[in-house]
Amino acid sequence: MKTERTEQREFFENGMDALFAGWVHTPAGGEIANQFIRRSWWLWKRGIKRYGAKSIVEVLRWHYALRNKSGEEWKINNNYVSRLARLAMERAPELRGFFELRELKG
């Protein structure tokens, strides 16, 4: 799974929300978002009331690193973590309040 490199200046020029929206609609971004939501839901289903979005992203990174046989570079931007949490709570209403949210920057 290959993702495009985004220069830091693009985050400020295009806005983080726009970049995230574009990324999450790519095949790679969509797969990551779905896996993020699935893992969040599994935790919630086991009775866990709150969890860290960054922790789930790190688990995804680890799993994708193990699966990667092609040698392609796989990355997920840390700036997308809080937006993934918001997306998960939006798409799966039972997850509302599962992640602690702060005001978005950018």
Burial class (CB in 10 A: 0-12, 13-18, 19+), 100: exposed
**Tokens, residue 41:** 């839901």
d(CA 49, CA 100): 11
**Percentage with pLDDT > 90 across the chain:** 53
Task: Please report which confidence band the pLDDT of residue 104 belongs to, taking 50, 70 and 90 as the band edges.
Answer: confident
Crossing angle for the helix pair 81-91 and 27-45, nearest 10 degrees? 70
d(CA 84, CA 104): 12
pLDDT in the model for residue 71: 61
Average pLDDT (11-16) is 60
Domain ranges of the chain: 12-95
pTM, entire model:
0.80
Contact predicate 73/25, CB 8 Å: no
Which residue has 């990324």 as its token pair?
Answer: 23
Residue range 90-102, pLDDT digits in tens: 999 999 999 999 8
d(CA 98, CA 85): 9
Residue range 50-83, pLDDT digits in tens: 999 999 999 998 888 877 766 666 678 898 999 9
